[in-house]
Amino acid sequence: MTATVWSVDDWAPVAAEHRARVRTWTAPHLARRAAGQRHPVEDFLFEYYSYSPSKLERWHPGLGHVLTGAGIDEYAALADYRACDAGVTADPDRLARRRDGLSWTRDLLALTHGRDARTNCFGLHEWAMVYRTRPGEVRHEAYPLRLGHQGTDEVVEANRLRCTHFDAFRFFTDDARPRNTATLTRRDQQASEQPGCLHANMDLYRAAYKFSPFVASELVADCFELARDIRELDMRASPYDLTSLGYSPVRVEEASGKAEYVDAQRAFAERAGILRGRLIDSLDCLLEVVPTEGPRTDR
């Protein structure tokens, strides 16, 4: 791989632009955290995923780029960078022990990318997560259920659960899990994920940041932005009443709400398809240069 050399005059403004973009998301979250407040939509990506705000704010050009000039000491101190003749660069040898996970993630993305999008789940995974619960047992206790507990249960019982995403399915209540059309497991994830799924498309963010700094920060931020937009639909279509936060419900318990949800789901699938393709290309480039040696590690 031929390296691209960036002078500080070239990379510093790009890093600052990235930081300014990302801080529109991280700064409000950090302010709420300092005040002991939580937001079920805006804070989700920082709580569910393991990438910290500070890491999201730091810009990386990706593998095959060399940074030079003042300011590179910050990068030289990072474990995944190494010094080279011109400056500092991300070190592909650091990925050797993670090659199995890199390959597995690339295959998951490619298999999902090659399937037709299914848009008949209507966001009922969030309803299945509170099915037959009692007051005090739901995750977002600060917000009431729009239809109450009984009404929520009736919606689940009147519809078919068609979840295809294991990491959503695993949060179903014990009573809801047998109502799904398939019993999902981690082992079957590559065979079950499909590009219409909101959560599979949100997880593009995880696939991108998981291999930072070798994946460019622009792609990580693009995936975060998509996931953030998806989370809003996810919660608007949920059984929770979030009107106090300014979110009007997508009433998937009604035919008009189902149609609204499907239209938005298809639009997100199109956006995700572009990002998934970019991620596959990026991971393919990594696999070409990452050494095969090194102990195996979990995904």
Helix (H, G, I), strand (E, B) or coil at 240: strand
Q: What is the DSSP letter of 187?
A: G
Task: Region of 122 please: left (phi>0), alpha (psi -120 to 50) or beta.
Answer: left
Within a domain: residue 297? Answer: no
Specify the pLDDT at position 212.
97
pTM of the model: 0.95
The number of distinct structural domains making up the chain is 1
Q: If DSSP codes are grouped into helix, strand and coil, which group holds residue 194? A: coil
What range does the domain containing 95 cover? 4-289
Residue 117, domain member (yes or no)? yes
Selection from 61, 78, 85, 240 nearest residue 151 by Cα: 240
Question: Please, what is the average pLDDT of the chain?
Answer: 95
Q: Residue 259 falls within a domain, yes or no? A: yes
Give pLDDT tens digits for 154-177. 999 999 999 999 999 999 999 999
pLDDT score for 137: 86
Separation between Cα atoms, residue 262 and residue 120, nearest integer Å: 7
List the end-to-end C-alpha distance of the chain, in Å, as a whole number. 26
Q: Tell me whether residue 249 is in a domain.
A: yes
pLDDT in the model for residue 296 = 44
Reported as a single tens digit per residue, the pLDDT across 116-154 is 999 999 999 999 999 999 888 888 989 999 999 999 999
The reported pLDDT for the residue numbered 10 is: 97
- The tens digit of pLDDT for each residue in 228-264 reads 999 999 999 999 999 999 999 999 999 999 999 999 9
Q: What is the pLDDT of residue 88?
A: 97
* Contact of 248 with 153, CB cutoff 8 Å: no
Q: With a cut of 60, say whether residue 294 has pLDDT above it.
A: no
What is the arithmetic mean of pLDDT over 182-211?
Answer: 97
263 in any annotated domain: yes
- For residue 138, is it within any domain? yes
Q: How many percent of the chain have pLDDT more than 90?
A: 92
pLDDT at res. 139: 86
Read off the pLDDT of each residue in 69-88 and give the average, rounded to a whole number.
95
Q: Where are the alpha helices (DSSP H) in the chain?
A: 8-34, 44-48, 53-57, 73-76, 99-113, 125-128, 148-158, 166-169, 189-192, 198-202, 204-209, 217-236, 255-289
pLDDT attached to residue 297 = 47
pLDDT tens track for 87-114: 999 999 999 989 999 999 999 999 999 9
**Does residue 299 lie within any of the structural domains?**
no
Question: Lowest mean pLDDT: which of 182-196, 205-219, 285-299?
Answer: 285-299
Q: Is residue 78 assigned to a domain? A: yes
